Structure 1
């Protein structure tokens, strides 16, 4: 695997697209300082996945894009492509099958970074995977930039170990171990979730067992309810049958009544039919009278129409007579004119006959001279035709040549048209949109990056949601704990309150106080507050006075002397002034009181006058010497120490402990309030956690949706990218085809042009021959024309005479025809005059016949008949109207009978519906009993034996339903759920065992990976150490160097370099000079190369700190290693330049823009030797 070429565009100072080949094993890059040599090294490191801008000598990744110069604008994108030869299939992953691999990276101004392998969008990780274990990478040992040599030798042991791992090729092992650890973590998480589910499932099993017991009770009650319900259905079915029989009888009675009423209706309908028949007869007679009247009216109309026809006929005949007289006058005038014109035509016919005879004689004379002239014309035409044949032959040759010329021109036009069409098609071919293709590749890379981001976010949420779930469960437990604590405090408080209430209500004094109306008064202890711990002391000091009742005046208690209280009881009235204690040195019990009432405070000061306090009995005994008569010291336990006595306290009444309990109740109330706040805070925290869990779950769903959408988007872009790539390929293929066809057409056009030139020369020759032949033919044509002219003149004169003779004959014939026409016109006029006379006679006869006397007499008779028939029609109409009225009244009576039938039918229908309802009800209950598979005989017997009644059954069913409702929510599927839960527990137990086994397997795999990595690192360390120990003396000319592990565990231990140049005993490499450090680092890198040679090595001014002697040794060593590794080095040293097989010069003639000048050294040497 070697580097074949580098393509740069817009990267740092390489503003223009730059492409240079690397054919040799030793390629040197030279040029002045600042011209951009190191940018080539940065470009290689950038393509291999470097993401840290500082490693590329920049502040941000945008700095790698050309930023413009004085004459150029900034570039919008940076692109670098490395082309590798992979003939040895050393590349990792799916790309090892390609003989050549092109790795490309593109960065735009908007921060979008895209990677490509063989023009396919990939991830950054995919690029790094290709070079895993090869020594190549953004920070691998095969790329040594400026200052890297000193950093390598001065690296921390942990950083130096990374070079050793890369040389050992354990990167893939580390990746496998990381993936295995992730799977192990997932397995542990799954195991934790399964265990949580098992714990929850065990809890659910207990609940399901209880629910199954309740379900059994429910089913027992349900069976009882079903029995009662079946009995209820049976009784209702029996009642429904009885009701059905009763309704059937009612339907029969109603049907009989309906039939009687129907008979009455039929009698009325018969009478109605008789009247209707008479009505029909009267209607017929009325219609007959109307017909007779219509006939009379029609006869009147006919006679009136006849009279009108006679009048109109006389008018028409008189008009015709007038017109006939006018026509007769016109025909007489035409006859007279024809006779006059006939006399004139006879004279004109005689003159025309005489002129025709003269012209015929002249024509015969000219006709005899024509044959001689015709022979002369034929002789001249024969000579002309012979010459015309010669002209036609030449013209035929010219036409053939012209046809060939037209064919050539047509072919030229066809080729031109085809060429234009093909050129147009080539011009219209879609120019491969490389920018769109690049954008698609970029979008596909971005889509894959987005998919990676979505997958990472999904993985993060997959880890976050279980953590939030665990936190939620922890918060729930905390809520439960705080709730239990709150319940405990509340219960204790309730118990103390109940005890206080019981002491107050169940004492001996309660009835007495109620009797005297004092039960509403509060005891003194409810108003007294003392510091914690002194309640017993105060009770011992006050005794029964602790429960004293306040009265307005003490004199009122005299009434109680006759009916003394059954137990000790005190009354008090608060004093108006306070009392002072005599001792100021001893602490007073009254000072421990916290009272807001001044009167109550004065009272207690009085009662506690001479009562002091001590923490314990010994302290009280020590202070008793200070006491005077009547004074006492009270301890916390209520023991009293006076000047000469000690009294131990013990509860001796029902009031004992009330003050302490009151104090404790107050404390508990405070604690309960605080606990309520704590519990509320815990619940609030739980709510927040649950909200966070819900939000994370929703975001997890969104992340899954985004991941799916990102995957779909990437797939769509990949399909579009393949489509566009195929389109570009097809366009390129078609363009090549069109270029070939256009070249062929150009060749054909050249051949046609040559043929066209030959035809033009032949055409000129024939054109000259045609001119000579046509000139001779023109002379002969003139002779023919002269002879033909003489002949034509003779013929013209002959035709003129013949035409004039014909005209004379025609005039004679025309006049004769006209004479005949005039004779026929005279005859026609005579015939028409006779016809008109006959028509006049006929019209006079018709006028005589047209008279209306008989029609007028008939009209009077018809009018009298019409009046008689109108009177008869009136009589018939009156009779018809009477029958119509009788028919209407009879029909109304029938309708009334018919309407009275409707309520009877409706009642029958209603009864039938009730019968049907009873039948359906009985059938429904019977169907329900049959559906429930109830034993009808057994039900009837049980009803008879138990004296069951319908009303009582409904009550029993309601009672059973109440008992079922009292059971609450019943899980009827509890038994099935219990079985399913047990089966699930069995499955989860098996899954738990599988997860434990998988976790053990993964741990074993990690252990195995660690063993393999440890062995590989150990052997690599030993080999590199051996090569380093041999390489160091080679570069230094002596000395000792080795690698030392800084720890016992090779997987975690760092690597430290120990080197001693010849004659030096330095204890650390930090004491070495810069040149010595550089040589030591070179020896270490080359030692690693001896173990795992990288495909190529980049050296950026590594020889800068070296002198000439060391440079020569360095160059010699590099030349030897170039047999297996390709070297691309940057140097200013002439000795180092000499070892290069190819020099690449970097110039910056234009400020800020780098350009490449490449020289093949072997070719240059060969050229120099040749010269």
Structure 2
């Protein structure tokens, strides 16, 4: 994640859009004081999530917005976009597939902020999380300012540990721990609140338990009363209650299923975090094992190459020893021959001496004559022997040179063979690498296509998800409307059924009316001629119903018949059946035809019949009953009109007060029965109309809801399919990325093999050149030796001729003595010859023995070297075996870790599928629970409606209801006494909470549910505690490893920077690693060990630099931004500082803000910050080559 570009607009002094391109290597930023160099650092800090205005050198966050200058007005917005190169894939997993990652931040003067990742709006937390554990961030060691160098030295030990935490990669664990602690605190608070709620519920349950027992006694007596008074309604209520209990049980069961599914879902989700931590740890272990395996395999290759080299040297020694052995065999044969000849010569010498002993006088005489010749002969013999020795030495040297030439020729052939073999391997590697690079290009192209396909599908998925959410909201609205309409339809139907039941049962009418209208013929049909009651044929507006009911009064009880015959027949029936009395009004009743004037004026509404609706066939009845009735606003006006005497009318007010033609005034309260009788038909009609209206709306709403449901189902299928497609594409991407990584690793391996073969081939070529040079030198020496050998042999031949001449002369002289004493002469000659021969043989034997000794010494040295080589080969083979064993173990560990990682990943994916399945099951149960809840509400409404109906009936006309449902053979007095006694018992019980039983059951269910939640919260608290403990354990281990590594690196780097001295890091609290601070103890060269605070400014700066770069060496940050860190350093320390940066370039990208010329010379690209226009910064870039610089260009 190296910085690629930085784009600023409206940020501090960079008011215009400014784009800075950063490349690998070292980028320098220079400029005079106050030109805005440090604003570049501030912009990078700001876009990476810095929220402290103080750290950005301001008092408020609005200070980062350009505030205007003499020539320019203030701007309303500051924005910065920072683009990272992620070709190395070091970004977090969710962004690792992107080759570039861009983060952006925008701030308006109104205080509103916007954050972006890859131009997608996000939260500040998302940007902060992106950099956690990467060594990059506002608090990491990737950005070092001059003030930060001082802070490292002067800050508290506890603050200094942040740098090591970032290197240890535990900042993300720390963030997760803080989140877990916040969640734990929230859970504790919820647990405390839930404990209080449970306590309150328990107190309420105790109170409701007492009320429920009292209600049960009341219910028992009420049930007995209800059974006796209303058998039919009690049975119906009991059936409805049974069904309601069944629905309640289903409702409770579904609710428990929903809670169980939710708890199971919470349990699975809480375990996901632990699995993620385990997978993260496995990834780290797998990476470490791979690095170790790579190192061990390199060691194996080095061991194998060294073994081959030493085996070749051993073979060369063995070949040389064989040549020496052959030569020794020849020398030993020569030695045996010489020894045998010396023995023979000694024997001959003894024989000659015996013969000479007898004739010594002759010998002395002969020797005197031969002394002179013998002396010459001896001199010549010595010269001849010396020449023979020289010839023999040259022959030996020629033999050695010839053997060496043969050895060098064989070595030359062997080296040429190895060079040819290496070249063939290099050609094969180049061919395979070219093929793999071709595969890599194809994979890259395919990967790009897959990413584009994935982005397209992801975009389509997001669009579909948005559409799905909108459709779900529309479906929910439609469902809500359907439920509302169902409630309205149910309510209207129930109320209509009640009205119809009341009218059917003629509630409110006298016994005689009900007896007449309930009569049937022999077939069970109602008798013809009976239309109904007056209250049933008239209808008016609700505002006038009190007036109509008051003016008709008892007339509402009139039974409307076709003729008087039906009326007379009904009277006879009533008299015979003793069923009460009733009045009958025929349809053709005679109405008063007297025409009178109608009153007019303010307050007079008009004749009431004008406001009554009825069928035309009942017009005469209307005229008869209402023809003289005038409707007025109030009683005062009615009395005024009557007192005027001008109108013989009945006046009725809107609220039901009546003034008849005779002045009788009727009014007050209690006219409810008549009003209800009048209103029944209107209420039935209105309810029927409303029912039809709501049914129509319900049908349309159900159609709309079904349409939305179909759309939602279709879109859910589409979203699921797109989700699967995105997942499949991601799996393909992962597979391709793994293939690409494998190919890149293979290319790297081929490159390493090629480099190794190239180095080996170069060494072989050099060795071949040395062999040829040595062979040429030996050839020259061999030629010289051959020439000298020829010369010495010719000279030896001449000397031997001269020796033979002297020998012949001596023989002649001795022959002269032979005449004197032949035996003496022969003996003397024999003794002389044997002596000379013996002397030559002895010298030859000494030479051969010396040669054998030299060759044995050389063979012994070679054998000792061979033994040393054999021992070294054995040691190398032991090391090789250990390395192979370690490689096997590491491969096993790597395989086990990979299998474990894949198993954990598979387990996590399976758990995600399980969570998805549980969530789906939870949603299904929740939907069923909502349906059951609606159904439960509907049935509760039905039950409540029945209860309200019974209560209304009890209050309206209890004696009539008792007469209607009484049995003929029932003892009325006894039944009345029983009922009175039951009522007395109910009254003695006092006030009763009849809902206490249901409330107690509901409260018990709620208490059970809350207790389960309490257990779930306690379990969640335990899980969070375990997760935090695991995070602490992992953080402790990682921090300890990172601290030890940084300390070791710091101890190594400090003396390099100071050219001596020593320093180390100490933990202030070894027992509490997670909170322990870090102390720096330094001892520059020539000084005593002391605290860092006692060092000079330059020493402090250099010590801080040593610490920061020690962390870099342990965990290199993708980039490093140094803002005038070199300011306190002198020239010598500047050079050390620059050397250190130069050595770190392969690991990180460096951005240096400096005033130092030596540091400027270090940069590959140099940016200059200028302020040509006061208050406005601009950039000028210069790219530096090896020997020249290009012309400046405005960035």
Q: What's the TM-score bracket when you normalise by the shorter of the two chains?
A: 0.3 to 0.5
Larger Rg: 1
When the two structures are superposed, what TM-score results if normalisation uses the length of structure 1?
A: 0.37
